[in-house]
Amino acid sequence: MPIIALPPAYAWIDQEGAPKLLMEMRKLYGVKETPGKGDNPVIIEWAKEIGVSKIYTHDETAWCGLAMGIAAHRAGKEIVKDPLWALNWANFGVPAPVPMLGDILTFKRFDGTGKLIGGHVTLYVGEDKAGYFHCLGGNQSDMVSFARIHKNRLHAARRTNFNVQPANVRQVILTATGTITTNEA
């Protein structure tokens, strides 16, 4: 699959080289689900590759956890138990008290009445002074893409349990532009 160019605001990621989890998710940028009854065979193949194809059979089923699972697998990282459930990624690695480049972020999703209806998992690429994390992950506008998610929705921030943490794992302050999401289902 060819690598798709990143939007200009995030093109700097291609110069980072680490952490591995971020670099693997970057390679997935632009993969889209197929609307309707069809399925993107790339997404369905991910389920086979990480061993969840018996329960993941259609790309219109939420797939942020699947995208995180394939990125973690290809980066040589342990995949959490039941990786399709986004909030299970709150058990990955070690806690990250201050989210930084390449950290896994899990977010809670609520319906219009405030009832918890699910979660979302994605990777930190930065944050802005308007109160949003900039994230790269799957099932964001039905594709692997960038989204801004309000910090008040954060459930957990987790970091790879590095033997040696890459020097570029750091907070990144970005311009407050880009798509804001409130429900990534």
Is 5 part of a structural domain of the chain?
no
Domain count, the chain: 1
90-118 confidence digits (pLDDT tens): 999 999 999 999 999 999 988 889 898 88
Is 6 part of a structural domain of the chain?
no
Is 124 part of a structural domain of the chain?
yes
Is 1 part of a structural domain of the chain?
no
Is 128 part of a structural domain of the chain?
yes
Tell me the mean pLDDT in the region 124-140: 97
Tell me the mean pLDDT in the region 57-67: 95
**Model's pTM, two decimal places?**
0.96
φ and ψ at residue 45, rounded to 5 degrees: -65, -35
Which of 87, 77, 88 has its CA nearest to residue 25? Answer: 77
In terms of residue numbers, what domain contains 47? Answer: 11-181
Residue 2 pLDDT class (50, 70, 90 cuts): confident
Is 82 part of a structural domain of the chain?
yes
Instruction: Write down the mean pLDDT value for the chain.
Output: 95
Q: Please, is 172 exposed, middle or buried when counting C-beta atoms within 10 Å of its C-beta (0-12, 13-18, 19+)? A: middle
**H or E stretch covering 116:** strand 116-127
Is 3 part of a structural domain of the chain?
no
